[in-house]
Structure 1
Amino acid sequence: MTPLWLNDAEVPARLRLTPGLHFDTVVIGGGLTGLVTALLLAESGVEVAVVEGRRLGAGTTGATTGKVSLLQGTRAQRIAEHHSDRTVAEYVEANRAGQQWLLRYCAEHGLPVQRIPALTYAQTEAEMSAVRAELRVTRAAGLDTYLVEDLDVPFPFHGAVGLADQAQLDPMALLATLAADVEAHAAPIFESTIVQGVHHGDNDDLIIETEHCELTARTIILATGTPMLDRGGFFARLTAQRSYLAAFRVAEPPRRETFISAGEPTRSLRYVPGTDGDLLLVGGNGHVVGRTGSASRLVDDLTDWTKTWFPSAELIQSWSAQDYHPIDELPYVGPLLPGREHILVATGYAKWGLTNGVAAALALAGRINGKPPTWSGALASWRPAELKALPSAAKTNSAVALRLSIGWLRMARSGYGALPAEGCGHVERHGLQPTAVSTVDGQTTEVSAICPHLHGIVRWNDAEKSWDCPLHGSRFAADGTLLDGPATTSLSPISGPAAIPVTNAP
């Protein structure tokens, strides 16, 4: 499941980390937040480097829809349930600053951007209450939103709230340009280097432990989706969510607006310009990572929905993205631990990372340079208002505890099973060892089924051929290789042959 944006992306590979290096600031994570933060710091004279666990764009940024919008589904009203009107307005201002910086950067570097209206629409009459609430809250927060009562679209539409002059773009073209710009400012980027831990060294330096070697820094910025350090307990303040996207060729030109539904199941639509004609991009069917029976069925459902309302639709490509939802609806940007400025974090964008990610970078760079934006308090990583979200936190973490118990109870009742068919995987117990067994490309592989983060039992993702942890969203390839944190190491191989050829695989 490769994102559409990677098809023609020209992003050269970078070397992995080498020993003996020191920087003023090290940014961990090579997505939008990490690269913009590194660029802002390098421009201000800070000696900075970027360390990416896989390749640039392999995370959330490279799989996004590419929408750059201040109208974000029903985000404003959800934030208003937990925070004051002033905080909602500051959140909007933070995203406006992120959007303006991003669009200005694209204009200066010749990156194509489509300026189009954004719509949050009602799929049913019942969803109109959410549409009207979003209109009311966004207007109070300073956005010139308007009500759309009717629109000529083929799918169910009962009205919408709209915002003119929003944008969409190709996220990988953006990342490629940012990476080249960062390096042009003498800031190196290291790829294929997983950070596994951080500890204090001499002279107040921080020692960053990676799979290859160590490096030192005065300040560390964690821009890794969810923080890969457990200090601060952010894994318990976030919910990892997986959602699906698919690109289609359609007979009729797609409309020139972006759409996202006000209710569930989520349906997100935009057009993608191309030399061979425009494509229709449809997303939705999100769920907590590792907590769905069959991801493939969700992808099929998205395709079926599209072909129902766009009968000429021809599936070109499908993929998925991972995002992190904060318990009180606002991103976390600031110190990993209260009052300690040497490790900073940015996370919790709730699927709106192209504006929030740049806003976070502006806030982080401003914090380091002593000039934080006036709106940055709304995105603080530690805020008193979060106490109001304690019921949400309790609900989130009780679900985690339940998944932990269910996983281990299943293990107690399981034993050896048959070899999985091609593209399949299951968890079984070998003696006292929970074992994840899968067959991909004719090879059956056995790895530990215990997530190294907090020891949840992983589950097979039949759409992406991966092992997903239902506790906090860590993900692993079929052979156990780490894909997404908060885990920092791969699933342990089971002793014996690493891969067993399957002669009867279909």
Structure 2
Amino acid sequence: MKNDRDTIPYWLGTTEDTDYPTLMEDIEVDAAIVGGGLSGITTAYLLKNEGLKVAVIEADRIAKATTGHTTAKITSQHDLIYDKTIKRFGKEMAQQYADANQNAIRFMEDTINSNNIECHFEVQSAYVFTQDKNYVEKIENEAKAAKSLGIPSELVLTTPLPFPVLTAIKFDGQAQFHPRKYVLALAKQIPGNGSHIFEGTRAADIEEGKICVIKTVDGKRIKAPYVIIASHYPFYDGKGMYFTRMYPERSYLLAFRIEESPPEGMFINLETPGMTLRNHPHEGERILIFGGESHKTAHGEKTTTHYDNLRNLVKQIYTVKEELYHWSAQDYHTLDDIPYVGKLTSETP
């Protein structure tokens, strides 16, 4: 039996709504952050801890968009990223990517522990697997690349999944969590002593300079020497031509109660359309979060078709007792799979 819960993400359906104020007057701070997701709130949390006065502005509600629609895995395993990064950019770039992601896992674990955040953080192994012989060599090459970068990983022929695989790469020491519970806990530490979170406050433009000015759609102004854009898509391009260097991709997720015990670990496959699955604690039991059917935005079938395909697939693997939620996510990808971090352009002050 389905109800209204199945039209929103699990992460939103199991947390309270936020109610931070809207910006009603011009303000000046040390650092302004546009975007109230995991990246923006974490940045604000860190800067405030360093003694800066910060302001986060979010067009909707914090931790609701990308953060609220994720699979909620904390991992340095992003498909098969390392072998191709070494071949395309060299080992130094691949090492930077690996170190940044491995350090992020430890940072989040330390932050959760030091702040006593209840967000179902659990250390898990992450797997990329295949049942198609055409992908076996790719996984073997990725395993060699990961080992060369010092990532705790190994090539395996079996997994905790209830079906056989030809091969898989396993990353140890990865993690999963409840992203909204994590972000909302950090957010509570930001307001006060000259720092703010504003919801329902959409940025429209930036005047660059030694003191930058963020203009909102309602005509309010935020002055700050430092501005961080942590929004889903850079609302301000600043001659960076990012619209030509990124593309959106949509994927679909469902949360199920199943008769069997969901597998320990986090899993994605290489076949098309892809499959992703993990477990999560819910009301005294373990539920299955199952997704896939990724496609470039506007290039897929009817939304209901993608959900139905996933429902049919999960029923081939498990005995479904109840579908709790379903939702979709839209993520932006760079053309070379390396994220954009740092100055907006080489000319940005």
The answer, yes or no, to whether TM exceeds 0.5 is: yes
Give percent identity, aligned residues only. Answer: 29
Match 1:172 to one of 180, 195, 199: 180
Deviation, 1:280, is: 0.3
Q: Return the alpha-carbon distance in structure 2 between the equivalents of residues 206 and 2 of structure 1.
A: 37
Quick check: 1:222 aligned with 2:220? no
- Which residue does 2:4 correspond to in 1? none
Q: Is the 8 A contact 1:24 1:218 kept in 2?
A: yes
Deviates more, 1:125-134 or 1:245-254: 125-134
Give the aligned length.
Answer: 339
Q: Which has the higher contact order (CA 8 A, sep 6+)?
A: 2
TM-score by length of 1: 0.64
Structure whose CA Rg is larger: 1
Match 1:45 to one of 51, 59, 65: 51
Show the 5 A alignment for 1:40-79: 40-79=46-85
Match 2:159 to one of 124, 146, 151: 151
Show the 5 A alignment for 1:163-312: 163-183=171-191, 186-200=194-208, 204-215=210-221, 216-231=223-238, 232-312=240-320
Show the 5 A alignment for 1:414-433: none
Q: Return the alpha-carbon distance in structure 2 between the equivalents of residues 321 and 185 of structure 1.
A: 35
Q: Return the alpha-carbon distance in structure 2 between the equivalents of residues 283 and 209 of structure 1.
A: 38
The runs of 5 or more residues in structure 1 that have no matched partner are: 342-506
Match 2:25 to one of 6, 19, 22: 19
Deviates more, 1:146-155 or 1:237-246: 146-155
Q: Return the alpha-carbon distance in structure 1 between the equivalents of residues 147 and 298 of structure 2.
A: 37
Deviation, 1:302, is: 1.1
Deviation, 1:200, is: 4.7
Structure 1 residues 266 and 49, CA gap change in structure 2 (3 angstroms)? same
Quick check: 1:105 aligned with 2:108? no
Letter in 1 for 2:236: L
Deviation, 1:156, is: 5.1
Deviation, 1:184, is: 5.3
Deviation, 1:80, is: 2.8
Deviation, 1:49, is: 0.4
Show the 5 A alignment for 1:22-37: 22-37=28-43
Deviation, 1:132, is: 0.9
Deviation, 1:152, is: 5.2
Q: Is the 8 A contact 1:206 1:218 kept in 2?
A: yes
Match 1:137 to one of 145, 157, 170: 145
Match 1:115 to one of 99, 123, 137: 123
Letter in 2 for 1:52: E
Deviation, 1:8, is: 2.3
Letter in 2 for 1:273: P
Match 2:331 to one of 310, 320, 323: 323
Q: Is the 8 A contact 1:18 1:213 kept in 2?
A: no
Deviation, 1:21, is: 1.0
Letter in 2 for 1:120: V
Q: Return the alpha-carbon distance in structure 1 between the equivalents of residues 192 and 137 of structure 2.
A: 50
